[in-house]
Structure 1
């Protein structure tokens, strides 16, 4: 008789049946014992958040598909697009923010859109990247990011995100900028 179990947050979960003894297993063996639907949605949600916190979008998608036996939902697959180099282009921020907001909402978080405007009707803002480059992130003086607690996310932060203060210290506009939480990007 096989006993279902799984690795949850680094711990081996062993579920024994009343009529049989409980057994422990290695992670690879344990995964083969998981019955479809055994893990609750909140467990999968927690594991997805853990993968994403490590910046592992591909791993999150693979884990979801392995655990559920279904293709990963569009909102999860879209994260690859949102954080791709192609999305690090002026004018893509609203689309990226919608993708990120949807994903964080589906994962039980409370994301907020944060609109950033260059002051004095200036049209350009730049962002200092860790690699030393400072790409222009807007040509109309408007940029939007997603904030979850004290972390912010956009195509430039990548899936690891960045502390709000660090992000704002890397953002530059000729006459400065102002930001505020908004309901839509």
Structure 2
């Protein structure tokens, strides 16, 4: 059941994973990690500011289902501003946090289906080539 739930989450079907959990446990309640994962992809999080919290929620969601996600930080060598498709400000402090899991990147901008790294980087707008590095959770805490 855990693998089916993880597969549903990786496909972007958070609601399906929650339904599977409820059927398997015969409970109406939902584990906090799945609830946090579901809310991480909310449109309200597609703004500069909440990326560290969103990354933690996504990470914990995958981790609670037995996955092995990784935190990433994206920054620019030539400026503080990062935007998504030149339409939405992602960062005004030269850093954006997200999660990598099984070949896809996840944040509020990708939605629950995630995106392959190359596609994600095409949507990212900044001065210079992006610097993408794996980081630990301690780096996400201000």
Question: Which residue in 1 is equivalent to 2:129?
Answer: 176
1:99-114 to 2 correspondence within 5 Å? 99-114=57-72
Measured on the aligned residues, the alpha-carbon RMSD in Å equals 1.5
Asked whether 1:80 is paired with 2:33, we answer no
The CA deviation string for residues 11-63 of structure 1, in whole angstroms up to 9 with x for no partner, is xxxxxxxxxxxxxxxxxxxxxxxxxxxxxxxxx21121232233221222122
Structure 1: 4+ residue segments shifted above 4 A: none
Secondary structure of 1:159's match?
coil
Which structure has the greater CA radius of gyration?
1
- Shift, 1:134, TM fit: 2.7
1:54-133 to 2 correspondence within 5 Å? 54-70=11-27, 71-120=29-78, 122-128=79-85
Question: Which residue in 2 is equivalent to 1:46?
Answer: 3
The CA deviation string for residues 73-117 of structure 1, in whole angstroms up to 9 with x for no partner, is 100011221001011111111001001111111121111111111
Give me the TM-score of the superposition, normalised by structure 2. 0.88
5+ residue gaps, structure 2, are: none
The CA deviation string for residues 95-149 of structure 1, in whole angstroms up to 9 with x for no partner, is 01001111111121111111111213x2211122xxxx63111111110110013
Query: Is the contact made by 2:6 and 2:67 (CA closer than 8 Å) also made in structure 1?
Result: no
5+ residue gaps, structure 1, are: 1-43
* Aligned-partner Cα distance in 1 for 2:10–2:70: 18
